Amino acid sequence: MWQPHLLVPFRDERHRISDVINGSCSGIGCCETSIPRNAYQYNISVTSYNDHHGIWGFNPCGYAFVAEDGFFSFSTDDLYKPPFDEVPIVLDWLIPNEKCDDAKKNTTTYMCRENSNCIDAENGDGYQCHCLEGFKGNPYLQNGCQDINECMTSQPCSGICTNSQGTYNCSCPGGYQGDGRKDGKGCTLIIHEKRFHSTDVALGVSISLLLILLGGSWLYWGLRQRKISRQREKFFLENGGRLMLQRLLSEHEGSVESVRIFTDEELKKATDHYHENRILGQGGQGTVYRGILPNNMVVAIKKAKILDRSQVETFINELIILSQINHRNVVKLIGCCFETEVPLLVYEFVTNGTLSDRIHNCRHESTLSWRARLRIAGETAVALSYLHNDASTQILHRDIKSTNILLDENYTAKVSDFGTSRLVPLDRMQLTTLVQGTLGYLDPEYFYTSQLTERSDVYSFGVVLAELLTGLRALSFERAENDRNLSLYFASAIKGERLFEIIDSRVLNEGNPEEIKQVAMLASRCLRVKGEDRPAMKEVAMELEGLMRVMERHPWVNQSCDLEEAEYLLGERSSKCDGILKSNASKIDDSISNQVPFEIGSGR
C-alpha cells in the first residue's frame, strides 16, 4: 500500500517546536495519507498559509515522499533534514482489463505459469498471479514457482519428514505410532500386548516343523557326504594312492608329473555318470567309456567291471609301465583315479577302434588295404622293438593280440593294455611268472615252462601277422578241430603248400604273391615252437620296414604272378606260383609242423 508523507515547517506562530510529537504524523510538522484504489494519477503539493518572514530558525523547506505503509516513523529531527535518500515502495501489480475466467480462455495471453493460480485483483480491473501453496517465486516466469522443501526450512515433523512437490508428509519410525507432525499427534512408542491366537500357534508349529525338517535334511546330507568322503579316502589308500604311485614310480625311475590324478566326480561328469551311450567297448576285465573333459579333450576311461582287489595290482602295473613310455605307436596314459573301489585309467581317445574290428567285422571288410595292413604290422613291430630294446627298462607286453592294437584317425597303430606287462631287470633274460595271456596268441613254450622272454611277444605278434594275411581269427571253434588254432592252421597250410588258399581275398587282389609270401615266411619264423629259433622283434621290425620301403620305391607290377594268376590261386594255382611256393617250402623250419597242440579253453 502506498503511503504519502508530508513534512512541513511551522508557519503558524501559534505552534512551537515543543508541540511536535515524536512518532506521530498527525498534522503538526508532519501529515500522511493513503493513495486511494483505482487511482491512475496522484499529485502532491506543499504550500504555506503565511508568508515566510514569520518562519523561525529551523528548516524553512517542506518535502514529500511515497513509501510502503509502516516504513516511516516521524521524529522532530526529520524537520531539519530528510532522514533518508531512498525509501521502499510496494507496487500493487495486476494484468489489466481481464478477469481470471476470461484470461484462462486465451492460452496465448494468459500470464500465470505452472504451479500458480489466478486471482481477480482487488485494486482495479484485472487479475494477479500467485504461486500455489508450497511453492515460491515469480508466477509470471517459466519455472518461476519452485517447490519449497518444508523438511529443510520449517521442519514441521517430529518424526520422519518426506518432501514432495508442493507439500510434505510426516510419518513415524518403526515401533512408533501417530501422524508424526509437530502440530498434530506426533509419534508415541507402541506397547505390544501379548495375545496368543490359534493362527499364531499354528504358524509357530509349522515354522518349527519346517526348521526341524531342514535341519534333519542338512544333517543327513552332511553325514552322507562325510561317509562318501571317508569311503573315497579309504579307496584311495587301499588302491595305493599318490604315495604308492610315487614310491613305485621312483623305484623304476619313473615320473609322476605327467600322470594326472582325477577325482571320481570329474570322471562321472566326463562320462555322463557312465551312461551306456558312452560305452566304447567291453571286455573280460572291464568297460571302456568315452569321456569329455572340461577343456573339451576327448578321452577313453577304463573302468573295471568286476570288483576284484587283484585288479588293483594290474592297474598299478599298467600305470607304472605306461608312465615310462613315450612312443607314437603306444597308447598314451593321461591320468588315473584312486577314489573308486577299483582304480580307473584315463587314456588318449583312439578313434577307429581295434585292429580286430577292422579285420574280422564284416562291416569293415574293405577298409584295410594290403598296404595299410603291412604298415600297421610294421608300426606294431616298431613299438614292440622299442619296449624290448629302447625303453629305460625292458618291457614285455605279454598280451599282444589284434584287440590290443588300436587305430587312430589315420589308421596309425597304437599298442594298448599293459595290465599284464612286466618290467625285466637288466641282469635278467627271462622271468618265471604265472602264465597269463590270451589263448590263440599264447606262446606254447611259455605255456609249458612259465619262462617269459621277449620271444613270447614275438610269437604273439606272429599270430597277429597271420590274422592280417588270412583275415581269420586266432581261435575259432567254427573251423575243424585241428584247425581251430590259427598258428597251427597257418603252419599246416605252408607245409602243405596251401598258403594262397587261406590268404584273405583282398590281400590276394592287391598284393604281389612274392611280397605276400615274404610276409608269410616272416610270420612262420615268429611262430616257431622254440623261442630261441624265433627272430628278435627288432629284426622283425627292420624286415617289415624294408618291405614298405620297397613298395614305396617300386610298386608291385605282378612280376611273379599277375592278378589273374593270383585270383586263380583261390582255386587251382598256376605252375609259376606253384614253383615259387615249392622253392621256398624247403626253407620252412620243420618245427612249424611239429608244434605241440595244447588244450584250448576260453580266451582271456
Supply the residues annotated as catalytic: 399
Q: H or E stretch including 224?
A: helix 198-238
Helix spans in 288-369 (H): 310-323, 355-360
Q: H or E stretch including 494?
A: helix 486-495
- Report d(CA 567, CA 559) in Å as an integer: 15
Other Cβ atoms closer than 10 A to 111: 15
Torsions phi, psi for 357 (to 5 deg): -60, -40
- Report d(CA 595, CA 571) in Å as an integer: 28
Other Cβ atoms closer than 10 A to 571: 8
3-state secondary structure 239-277: CCHHHHHHHHHHHCCCCCCCCEECCHHHHHHHCCCCCHH
b/e per residue 32-71 (b: at least 16 CB within 10 A): beeeeeeeeeeeeeeeeeeeeeeeeeeeeebeebebeeee
Q: In the Cβ-directed half-sphere of 155, how many Cα atoms lie within 13 Å?
A: 2
- Report d(CA 213, CA 190) in Å as an integer: 36
- Report d(CA 478, CA 495) in Å as an integer: 22
Contact assessment for residue 327 and residue 362, using Cβ atoms and an 8 Å cutoff: no
Pairing mode of beta strands 260-261, 333-337: parallel
Contact assessment for residue 580 and residue 514, using Cβ atoms and an 8 Å cutoff: yes
Contact assessment for residue 288 and residue 265, using Cβ atoms and an 8 Å cutoff: no
Q: Which residues are registered as beta bridge partners of 65? A: 5
- Report d(CA 488, CA 59) in Å as an integer: 159
Q: Amino acid identity, residue 142?
A: Q
C-alpha cell at 355: 585292429
Q: What DSSP state is assigned to residue 81?
A: S
Q: How far is CA 337 from the centre of its chain?
A: 23
Q: H or E stretch including 394?
A: strand 394-396
Helix spans in 106-197 (H): 150-153
Tell me which long-range contacts 357-361 makes (C-beta under 8 A, separation of at least 24): 358/407, 359/402, 359/467, 359/468, 359/471, 360/402, 360/471, 360/473
By the 10 Å C-beta count (0-12 exposed, 13-18 middle, 19+ buried), 347 is classed as buried
Residues across the chain: 604
Q: In the Cβ-directed half-sphere of 583, how many Cα atoms lie within 13 Å?
A: 9
Q: What DSSP state is assigned to residue 26?
A: B
b/e per residue 120-153 (b: at least 16 CB within 10 A): ebeebebbbbebbebbebebeeeebbebbebbee
Q: Which residues are registered as beta bridge partners of 299? A: 291, 348
C-alpha cell at 458: 614275438
- Report d(CA 479, CA 466) in Å as an integer: 16
